Chain A
Amino acid sequence: MFPTVPDQHKNGKPLVPNGLGVLYVLFAIVCLFLIYFFEIESFASVSGISAPLTLAVCILFGGFMGLLDDWMDLKWRYKAFMPLIAALPLVYFAIGMNVRTSIVLPFIGSVDFGIWYFYLIIPLIVMIVTNTVNMLGGFNGLESICPAIVLLGLMSISALTSSYYLLMVGPIIFWLILAALNLKGKIFVGNSGSFAIGMTIASFAIIADVKLSLLISIIPYIFNSSLILLTVFFTHKKALIAFKNNKLESNHKRSLVTTITYHRPLTERKIVAIVSIIVTIFTLLAIAYSFLSILV
């Protein structure tokens, strides 16, 4: 029932159903609605803003944006700025819940952004996370497993201080199922999936107030996006990867993946494993850092 696209990195380029991330969106929303309805965990606040519903709305935004992209190939300038709309519920949530407006940076200390946190930092976080997560993909499992690692990390960090992690238990299990299928090359999550999971990560980090951990975990993503954008900006060249004898190889370093496969032929599975390990290392770093900062 889903549109199919050819799997470029397989012999014979078999057709694989794409855009199954939409299912994640629907499942996550239903999950969060149920949490809201049955008050499984009360996230009560004076201002009357519901955390599960805010999260649901953001995921919905992300999924919808991805769907539009899958549907009509949005231009980059739209894709880059559309998440700003999705930041609105989060901005309102942050103001209403009176969350900290400061970010504690290692070595620098606490930086208080004041009201700029609401009107500048939150939209920026949403925009950057959503787009960078969307940019690292294209291999079976890459666009689904790596965000799952980041999200699991953030959930365990937030579990130290609050019960917000409960919101994500259902959605992450469903996402992991999709990731397993994706890894096997049975499905693609599509832009609807990668935008939705990017939005999930960003909004969860803001709602659960684990911004620094988010920043540490997505360093590989930021590295990848900066590399891509900088090369496009300076040399007007896109990252390309050659597929030969079931192995992938590149002759330039214009993205994270091409850096890994630079004159080093690797199978698709191996590339995904290496990137996942890098992301895991940074996520573990984030976890270790928050553990330490709580202990100290």
Chain B
Amino acid sequence: MAIREGKLMSKDQINSGLKSFGKRFKFNRSSVLVISALILILLVAFTVRILPMRWEIPSGQIHLNEYDPYYQYSITEYMVDNGLFSPYTNNWVNYQQWYPNGLNMRMSLPALPMTAAALYQVVSFLGINVDLMTFCALLAVALGTLSCLVLYFIGKDMGGRAVGLFAALFLALAPSFLQRSSLGFFDTEIPGILGLLVFVLMFLRSMDPKRSLRGGLIYSIGAALALAYFIAGWGAAYYILDLTALFVFVLVLLKRYDRRLLINYGVTMGLGLLIATRVPYIGLSYLTSAPVLPVVAVFIVLLAAEFMRHNVFSVKNKMYLVMVSIVAILGSLVPLMYFGYLGDIAGKFVSVILPGARENAPLIASVAEHRIPAWGNLYVELGIAVIFFIIGLYFTLKNPTNRNLFLLLFGVTGLYFGASMARLLVILAPAFALIAGIGIIGMLKPFMSLLKETPTATVKAKRKLLRVNKEYSIIGILLILVMLMTQFAFNPTQTSMVQTGQVQVGGAPRSYANGYMPTAISAAGLPLVPPEPMPQWLNMLKYTSNNLHSTDVVVAWWDYGYWLSVMGDVTTLADNATVDAAQIENLGFVYMSTEDDALAMLSTYDQKRVQYILVFTSLFVYPHNESPTGFYVAQYGLGDEGKWVWMARISGGAHDRLTNEGFMHPGNTWSDEMAFGKSSDYGWEWSAQGINSLIYKLLSATEHAFANKTNGLVTATSMDVDLQYFEPVYISGDDTSFGSYGDLIPVVGLYKINWAAYNAAHPKP
């Protein structure tokens, strides 16, 4: 008995202890549920983003994804070595890029590398020994996850904790955002989206009428700091500046002006822009750039509204005031424009507004992330949740509070920008997540409230329904949940990537497919899902880094510029920075012209420095009974054999300049790819000029190097050619056994230019 009593006592003690514990921290069941759901969502967000790591571990280092992150990495590395402000205080020009002029590294946004460098130093100070590239790769994952958390708070402010949870979940698995915040995607979107979301959270909170003026001011200052961070982090900051201006302007139009709006807007924008202009590279000229002018204009409108409110003017005078201000605005714009004080809007931003403008600019159009997504792709991106998005839009329209109005503008403009440029889908992602969350909760609410009601008859009997039972609303909720399930688990569409191995058709939504995609460099630049990391590109970069001098110039198409200069430690002519269009045109000319003309062009650079040329091809091996070994090999189209079209178009666009400068001449002239052949039912048929082009010869030589090395495969697409002035130095991937990676083999060829032979054939007059 005594023992039993003792047990009871302890049970009571535990219970009361738990109760007091609960009281102290004000936990109730729902907040425990919400917190655990949030932790789970963040865990999912983090895990999905870090999954590509499996391809990085075998190679011993975590690499960055794609190309641009390597540029950001190079700045970060410089900052870690020389101090946070060093790229700007040292006037750093990186002469390993854009030979011979070098790349002015002051022309880069500081937020991302500075964040990374500062955090890296903190981590190093704490004694955690981690390689900088690994750290940068993981930072993208961490900041992406953090963005989901911030979105939870925005959603919570908008429509309660449930909306916040759904919004966080949608953002965590939004394909566009996931892709740009997964392992190794160390690029400007990362600080951009985080800054954007923190700004939205702070700015909307500062406007909250329930908050004291002091609290509102603190949030405005927070919003200003986030805004400055965003401007310093991502070129798309123009978007949020104009969105906020538009939002405030709409508020004024709806007669919702109050003095607090003026104060908050003034503080946020003034302080934010003030800090931002202190950032090197952005500078004071940012204020006069066309997209920032609406911010100023709206501020003037707010001041006018403040004056109007006090009724200091009669109606007649108000009319005069309006007319005078319109004349003043127009009158000041014209001379500003005339004298060129309005900063040029970069071509990218124009092309967002007018997608048609891009057709004339092959340099911009050739980048996949600038492409115009088709409407069908919007469905792939957003999934079945579009129905919730539309319902959510309806709910926000019906209840146009200030927050909802902002959300509405955010969603609609985001949809427009997402529809006009694939890269900007990432801006739509948070707006979509919030609105879809509101839609789902709005739909679930009537069903849920019915579930909680006593099962008496409802009055809704206009036409059919006389009595609605609880069970019926369970079915409604069930259907909504099944729809969510198809969004996150049984999505009918999947990325059209080249898969290896058996993969179920459809099913996995794009977000999960992303988790099963290696970083670009570990897949050797191909959209493949190999069983283990593909070493071809990594080996090539290791080779150049070990055997070439960092001053040696390797001619390569601009896509691989960052890899070669950062990982390969050589000097390149062009990369994704695309600062010198003429140099890229020249580069296209080199690849597309005959060997002699190509070297004539390269001779304009220093022959002692320009020593190598690189070509990348993807080869496809397939069984064929006419081949002695039973296999044919052909170029597949994912390497330079697909990109040469852009080389032809971009250099062809400079037809007049190249002709005037004497490089293009009869027999070696073109304005687009049609001079090099024609497309037929069997694929591309090269013309005589095409077969004489350097790119054709390099591709064929690389293909043959592979075919000859692996048991004499027969090549299908190209003839054997003799290179006059080029000798292979290292063909990375020519020893790949052709059964691997689903018969698709990446091969990178490095060729040395034989200047002696060229100079002997072309004696200087």
Residues of A in contact with B (beta carbons under 8 Å apart): 1-6, 15, 18-19, 22, 25-26, 29, 33, 36, 39, 42-50, 53-54, 56-57, 60-61, 63-64, 67, 70-73, 85, 88-89, 91-93, 95-96, 118-119
B581 to chain A, nearest CB (A): 33
Interface hit among B482-490, B564-572, B667-675, B756-764 = B482-490
Given B460, B464, B476, B505, which contacts A49 in the complex, CB threshold below 8 Å?
B505
Cα distance A81–B386 in the bound complex, in angstroms: 14
Given A36, A44, A48, which contacts B490 in the complex, CB threshold below 8 Å?
A36
Cβ-defined contact, B472 with A19, below 8 A: yes
Cβ-defined contact, B376 with A50, below 8 A: no
Cα distance A5–B462 in the bound complex, in angstroms: 12
A71 to chain B, nearest CB (A): 7
B476 surroundings in chain A (CB, below 8 A):
67, 71
Given known pairs A26-B478, A56-B486, A64-B387, the reply for A92 and B507 (CB within 8 Å) is no
B384 in the interface (beta carbon within 8 A): yes
B635 to chain A, nearest CB (A): 20
A49 surroundings in chain B (CB, below 8 A):
492-494, 505-506
Cβ-defined contact, B462 with A60, below 8 A: no
Given A50, A64, A73, which contacts B483 in the complex, CB threshold below 8 Å?
A64
B482 surroundings in chain A (CB, below 8 A):
26, 29, 60
Cα distance A18–B469 in the bound complex, in angstroms: 11
* 3 A-B pairs closest in CB distance: A50-B506, A53-B492, A1-B471
Given B379, B463, B479, B492, which contacts A67 in the complex, CB threshold below 8 Å?
B479
Given B446, B503, B505, which contacts A45 in the complex, CB threshold below 8 Å?
B505
Cβ-defined contact, B490 with A33, below 8 A: yes
Contact with A along B642-684 (1 / 0, CB 8 A): 0000000000000000000000000000000000000000000
Given known pairs A4-B466, A5-B465, the reply for A85 and B386 (CB within 8 Å) is yes
Cα distance A48–B464 in the bound complex, in angstroms: 43
Cα distance A1–B390 in the bound complex, in angstroms: 30
Cα distance A43–B475 in the bound complex, in angstroms: 30
Contact with A along B452-473 (1 / 0, CB 8 A): 0000000010111111110110
B339 in the interface (beta carbon within 8 A): no
Show 9 residue pairs from A and B whose CB-CB distance is below 8 angstroms, ordered by the A residue. A2-B472, A3-B465, A33-B490, A50-B506, A60-B384, A67-B479, A70-B465, A71-B465, A85-B386
A2 surroundings in chain B (CB, below 8 A):
469, 471-472
Question: Which of A3, A5, A56, A64 has the largest number of chain B CB atoms within 10 A?
Answer: A3
B506 surroundings in chain A (CB, below 8 A):
36, 48-50, 53-54
B754 in the interface (beta carbon within 8 A): no
- Interface of A, secondary structure class, is helix
Given A5, A43, A54, A60, which contacts B466 in the complex, CB threshold below 8 Å?
A5
Given known pairs A1-B471, A43-B505, the reply for A57 and B375 (CB within 8 Å) is no
Given A22, A44, A50, A56, which contacts B479 in the complex, CB threshold below 8 Å?
A22
B410 to chain A, nearest CB (A): 21
Cβ-defined contact, A47 with B496, below 8 A: yes
Cβ-defined contact, B486 with A73, below 8 A: no
B486 surroundings in chain A (CB, below 8 A):
53, 56-57, 60
Cα distance A33–B478 in the bound complex, in angstroms: 16
Cβ < 8 Å to A, chain B residues 498-542: 499, 503-507
Given B374, B387, B507, which contacts A53 in the complex, CB threshold below 8 Å?
B507
Given known pairs A3-B467, A5-B465, A118-B376, the reply for A57 and B496 (CB within 8 Å) is no
B379 surroundings in chain A (CB, below 8 A):
88-89, 91-92
Given known pairs A29-B482, A53-B506, A89-B379, the reply for A3 and B468 (CB within 8 Å) is yes
B471 surroundings in chain A (CB, below 8 A):
1-2
B91 in the interface (beta carbon within 8 A): no
Given B375, B462, B492, which contacts A119 in the complex, CB threshold below 8 Å?
B375
Cβ-defined contact, B462 with A54, below 8 A: no
Contact with A along B551-571 (1 / 0, CB 8 A): 000000000000000000000
Cβ-defined contact, A53 with B490, below 8 A: yes
Q: Chain A: which residue is nearest B467 at the CB level?
A: A3
Q: Chain B: which residue is nearest A15 at the CB level?
A: B466
B491 in the interface (beta carbon within 8 A): yes
Given known pairs A54-B492, A89-B492, A93-B492, the reply for A3 and B469 (CB within 8 Å) is yes
List 17 extra interface pairs beyond A50-B492, A50-B504, CB under 8 A.
Answer: A1-B471, A4-B466, A5-B465, A5-B466, A6-B466, A18-B465, A19-B472, A29-B482, A36-B504, A49-B494, A49-B506, A50-B493, A53-B490, A53-B492, A53-B506, A67-B475, A88-B386
Cβ-defined contact, A3 with B472, below 8 A: yes
A175 to chain B, nearest CB (A): 17
B600 in the interface (beta carbon within 8 A): no
Cα distance A33–B492 in the bound complex, in angstroms: 11
Cβ < 8 Å to A, chain B residues 203-229: none
Cβ-defined contact, B491 with A53, below 8 A: yes
Cβ-defined contact, B483 with A56, below 8 A: no
Cα distance A64–B391 in the bound complex, in angstroms: 12
B380 in the interface (beta carbon within 8 A): yes
A56 surroundings in chain B (CB, below 8 A):
486, 490, 492
Cα distance A19–B476 in the bound complex, in angstroms: 11
Q: Chain B: which residue is nearest A25 at the CB level?
A: B479
B384 surroundings in chain A (CB, below 8 A):
57, 60-61, 89
Q: Chain B: which residue is nearest A64 at the CB level?
A: B479
A61 surroundings in chain B (CB, below 8 A):
384, 387
Q: Chain B: which residue is nearest A46 at the CB level?
A: B496
B495 in the interface (beta carbon within 8 A): yes
A118 surroundings in chain B (CB, below 8 A):
376
Q: Chain A: which residue is nearest B384 at the CB level?
A: A57
Cβ-defined contact, B475 with A22, below 8 A: yes
B499 surroundings in chain A (CB, below 8 A):
48
B483 surroundings in chain A (CB, below 8 A):
60, 64
Cα distance A5–B466 in the bound complex, in angstroms: 6
B490 surroundings in chain A (CB, below 8 A):
33, 36, 53, 56
Q: Chain B: which residue is nearest A19 at the CB level?
A: B472
Cα distance A29–B479 in the bound complex, in angstroms: 10
A70 surroundings in chain B (CB, below 8 A):
464-465
B460 surroundings in chain A (CB, below 8 A):
72
Question: Which of B387, B476, B499, B505 has the largest number of chain A CB atoms within 10 A?
Answer: B505
Cβ-defined contact, A73 with B463, below 8 A: yes
B588 to chain A, nearest CB (A): 31
Given A1, A25, A43, which contacts B472 in the complex, CB threshold below 8 Å?
A1
Given known pairs A3-B472, A39-B504, A53-B486, the reply for A48 and B376 (CB within 8 Å) is no
B202 to chain A, nearest CB (A): 34
Cβ < 8 Å to A, chain B residues 370-385: 374-376, 379-380, 384
Cα distance A202–B440 in the bound complex, in angstroms: 26
A134 to chain B, nearest CB (A): 13
Cβ < 8 Å to A, chain B residues 282-314: none
Cβ-defined contact, A50 with B469, below 8 A: no
Cα distance A61–B492 in the bound complex, in angstroms: 13
Cβ-defined contact, B505 with A50, below 8 A: yes
A47 surroundings in chain B (CB, below 8 A):
496
B464 surroundings in chain A (CB, below 8 A):
5, 18, 70, 73
A259 to chain B, nearest CB (A): 24
Given A25, A29, A50, A67, which contacts B507 in the complex, CB threshold below 8 Å?
A50
B480 surroundings in chain A (CB, below 8 A):
64
A119 surroundings in chain B (CB, below 8 A):
375
B468 to chain A, nearest CB (A): 5
Cα distance A37–B386 in the bound complex, in angstroms: 25
Given known pairs A50-B506, A50-B507, A56-B490, the reply for A63 and B466 (CB within 8 Å) is no
B463 surroundings in chain A (CB, below 8 A):
73
Question: Which of B480, B483, B492, B503 has the largest number of chain A CB atoms within 10 A?
Answer: B492
Q: Chain A: which residue is nearest B479 at the CB level?
A: A64
Cα distance A96–B505 in the bound complex, in angstroms: 12
B467 surroundings in chain A (CB, below 8 A):
3-4
Cα distance A4–B465 in the bound complex, in angstroms: 7
Cα distance A72–B472 in the bound complex, in angstroms: 13
Cβ < 8 Å to A, chain B residues 58-90: none
Q: Chain A: which residue is nearest B374 at the CB level?
A: A95
